[in-house]
Structure 1
Amino acid sequence: MGLAVIDGQLELLDQSQLPQVERWLAIDTIPAMVEAIQALRVRGAPLIAIAAALMIAVRAEAGDDRETLLDAIETLRAARPTAVNLSNAMDVLRQSMAATDWRAALVEAADDLADGDVALCEAIGDHGAALIAPGERILTHCNTGGLATAGIGTALGVLRRAHEQDKGIAVWVDETRPLLQGGRLTAWELGALGVPYTLITDNMAAALMARGQVDRVIVGADRIAVNGDAANKIGTYGLAVAAHYHGIPFAVAAPYTTLDPACASGDLIEIEQRAAAEVRGVAGAAGDLCWAPADAPVANPAFDVTPAALITHWIMDAGVFDRADVANGALATGGAAKSLFQ
Structure 2
Amino acid sequence: MTYTASFHAIEWHNQQLHLLDQRHLPHQHQTLSYNSAAAVADAIRAMVVRGAPAIGIAAAYGYALDALAGRDLQHAYRVLAESRPTAVNLFWALERMAALSSQDPHVLVAEARQIHAEDIQANLAMGQFGAALISEGSAVYTHCNTGALATGGHGTALGVIRSAYQDGRLQQVYAGETRPWLQGARLTAWELMQDKIPVKLVCDGAAAQLFRQGGISWVIVGADRIAANGDTANKIGTYSLAVLARQHGIKVMVAAPTTTFDLTLSSGADIPIEQRPADEVTHLNGQPIAPAGCDAINPSFDVTPAGMIDAIVTEKGLILEPSRETVAMLFAR
For normalisation by structure 2, the TM-score amounts to 0.95
> Hey, what does 1:94 align to over in structure 2?
98
> Hey, what does 1:38 align to over in structure 2?
45
Question: How does 1:186-201 map onto structure 2 within 5 Å?
Answer: 186-201=188-203
What SS does the aligned partner of 1:330 have?
Answer: helix
Match of 1:293 among 283, 291, 294: 291
Distance 1:263 1:102, change over 3 A: farther
User: 1:10: how far off?
Assistant: 1.2
Q: Does 1:338 find its partner at 2:328? A: no
- Show structure 1 runs of 5+ residues with no match: none
Counterpart Cα distance in 2 of 1:252 and 1:168: 17
Match of 1:315 among 306, 313, 316: 313
User: 1:90: how far off?
Assistant: 0.8
- What code does the residue aligned with 2:332 have? K
Counterpart Cα distance in 1 of 2:312 and 2:14: 39
Counterpart Cα distance in 1 of 2:249 and 2:162: 24
Report Cα offsets for 1:157-215 as digits up to 9, x if no partner.
00001111122420010000011000000000000011101001001111111111321
Contact in 1 for aligned 2:317/2:330 (Cα 8 Å):
no
Range 102-111 or range 119-128, more displaced? 102-111
> Hey, what does 2:4 align to over in structure 1?
none
Counterpart Cα distance in 2 of 1:106 and 1:24: 23
Question: How does 1:21-170 map onto structure 2 within 5 Å?
Answer: 21-64=28-71, 68-97=72-101, 102-170=104-172
What SS does the aligned partner of 1:267 have?
Answer: helix
Contact in 2 for aligned 1:96/1:102 (Cα 8 Å):
no
Question: How does 1:196-275 map onto structure 2 within 5 Å?
Answer: 196-275=198-277
User: 1:329: how far off?
Assistant: 2.4
> Hey, what does 1:304 align to over in structure 2?
302
Counterpart Cα distance in 1 of 2:14 and 2:23: 25
Report Cα offsets for 1:214-239 as digits up to 9, x if no partner.
21100000000010000000000000
> Hey, what does 2:22 align to over in structure 1?
15
Give the number of equivalent residue pairs.
326
What SS does the aligned partner of 2:169 have?
Answer: coil
Contact in 2 for aligned 1:162/1:169 (Cα 8 Å):
no
User: 1:52: how far off?
Assistant: 0.9
What SS does the aligned partner of 1:232 have?
Answer: strand
Contact in 1 for aligned 2:67/2:104 (Cα 8 Å):
no
Counterpart Cα distance in 2 of 1:148 and 1:83: 12
> Hey, what does 1:327 align to over in structure 2?
323
Counterpart Cα distance in 2 of 1:230 and 1:151: 22
Counterpart Cα distance in 2 of 1:29 and 1:257: 24
Counterpart Cα distance in 2 of 1:103 and 1:8: 10
Range 264-273 or range 28-37, more displaced? 28-37
- Show structure 2 runs of 5+ residues with no match: 1-7
Range 82-91 or range 21-30, more displaced? 21-30
Report Cα offsets for 1:14-67 as digits up to 9, x if no partner.
000100100011112222212211111100000011011011112212333xxx
Distance 1:328 1:277, change over 3 A: closer
Counterpart Cα distance in 1 of 2:257 and 2:122: 6
User: 1:328: how far off?
Assistant: 5.4
User: 1:301: how far off?
Assistant: 0.2
Report Cα offsets for 1:117-152 as digits up to 9, x if no partner.
011101100100101111111000000000000020
RMSD, matched Cα: 1.3
Distance 1:167 1:2, change over 3 A: same
Q: Does 1:179 find its partner at 2:181? A: yes
Counterpart Cα distance in 2 of 1:29 and 1:4: 15
For normalisation by structure 1, the TM-score amounts to 0.92
Contact in 2 for aligned 1:237/1:304 (Cα 8 Å):
yes
What SS does the aligned partner of 2:175 have?
Answer: strand
